[in-house]
């Protein structure tokens, strides 16, 4: 099963990428922790191929992602992002390997309905995390070099 099949709205990713992009080599720009939600901003290692027409017309060469984990019930995190921006205002730095999978545990919003929890995890030499949550959503946008 592809990780995109575990998303609330998989078309937000599969509509841009023909196939699910790899979660290996993801550059995390920032992590925002709220009461029961975690938001991760960063870049996929590679842009979609072929580039969406709108991206090509605008000179976009990078794929930025916003990963939102909502209904977080367990949050374990150590370390933090090691990224910055280059002189073209593009994200650079040390990447991580992300993983999105189903948990063996379930949750029920209403009687009779049962859904598996999702796990969003990261492993690298400088940062690790596990977020166990009800929903994961990802949006993808293109961007390109710009003068700072």
pLDDT one-digit tens code per residue, 8-52 = 999 999 999 988 999 999 999 999 999 999 999 999 999 999 999
Torsion of the alpha carbons at 96, 97, 101 and 107, rounded to the nearest 10: -10
Torsion of the alpha carbons at 128, 134, 140 and 141, rounded to the nearest 10: -90
**pTM to 2 decimal places:** 0.92
Question: What are phi and psi for residue 14, nearest 5 degrees?
Answer: -70, -20
pLDDT (tens digit per residue) in 62-97: 999 999 999 999 999 999 999 999 998 899 999 999
């Amino acid at each position: 099963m592809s990780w995109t099949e575990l998303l609330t709205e998989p078309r937000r990713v599969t509509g841009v990428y023909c196939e699910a992009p790899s979660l290996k080599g993801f550059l995390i720009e920032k992590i925002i922790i709220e009461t029961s939600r975690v938001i991760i901003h960063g870049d996929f290692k590679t842009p979609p191929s072929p580039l969406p027409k709108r991206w090509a017309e605008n000179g976009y060469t990078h794929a930025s992602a916003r990963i939102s984990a909502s209904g977080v019930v367990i949050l374990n995190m150590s370390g933090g992002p090691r990224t910055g921006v280059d002189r073209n205002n593009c994200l650079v730095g040390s990447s991580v390997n992300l993983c999105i999978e189903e948990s063996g545990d379930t949750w029920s919003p209403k009687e009779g309905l049962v859904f598996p929890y999702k796990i969003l995890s990261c492993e690298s030499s400088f940062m690790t995390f596990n977020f166990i949550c009800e929903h994961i959503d990802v949006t993808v946008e293109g961007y390109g070099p710009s003068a700072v």
